[in-house]
Structure 1
């Protein structure tokens, strides 16, 4: 069993309240869940308006497939949100 994980650090400078941030995060999570078969949630910085940290995880039987899934999710998030991707941490176990 191979587990692929990623932490995606996003910065949304136009967000001025936690309510606005929640709408952005829910939109990203819903889009990714609809398109990919992964687990996804906001994992850090829930109390900061402009900082979004999303965790993504998948389980596969090959390292190549797990890495491919994680990379596809990251590319999808980058292209389908206005937030700036600051950093991405990927780990394949």
Structure 2
């Protein structure tokens, strides 16, 4: 069993309030959860309306599968015009 954890720091473009941020992040999290079947949540920068940190985890028998999923998820986020990836960190167990 291989476990991959991914931590992503995001900059929310054009966000003017926490309400704007919540709308963007909630939508992004739901789309990732439904599309890739991963556990995902906002894990940091809760009080900042321009930044967010999300964490996600996925489990499989194949580390290469996990690597492909992580790449697809990062590409999916990168394609979203409302957010910009500042930093991402991956851990594998």
- Say whether the fold is shared (TM-score over 0.5): yes
Structure 1 moving runs of 4+ over 3 Å = none
Distance 1:56 1:49 in 2: 21
Unaligned runs of 5+ in 2: none
> Is residue 5–residue 70 contact of structure 1 (8 Å, CA) maintained in 2?
no
Answer whether contact 2:6 2:89 (CA < 8 A) is retained. yes
1:44-55 equivalence runs, <5 A = 44-55=44-55
What is the rounded CA distance, in whole Å, between the counterparts of 1:12 and 1:26 in structure 2?
Answer: 12
CA distance in 2, matches of 1:18, 1:82: 14
Q: Which runs of 5+ in 1 are unaligned?
A: none
**Mapped contact 1:66–1:92 kept (Cα < 8 A):** no
CA change 1:13–1:77 in 2 (3 A) is: closer
Taking structure 1 as the reference length, the TM-score comes to 0.92
Count of residues paired in the alignment: 93
Counterpart-to-counterpart distance in 1, 2:86 and 2:52: 10
RMSD across aligned C-alpha pairs, in angstroms?
1.1
1:32-71 correspondence runs (5 A):
32-71=32-71
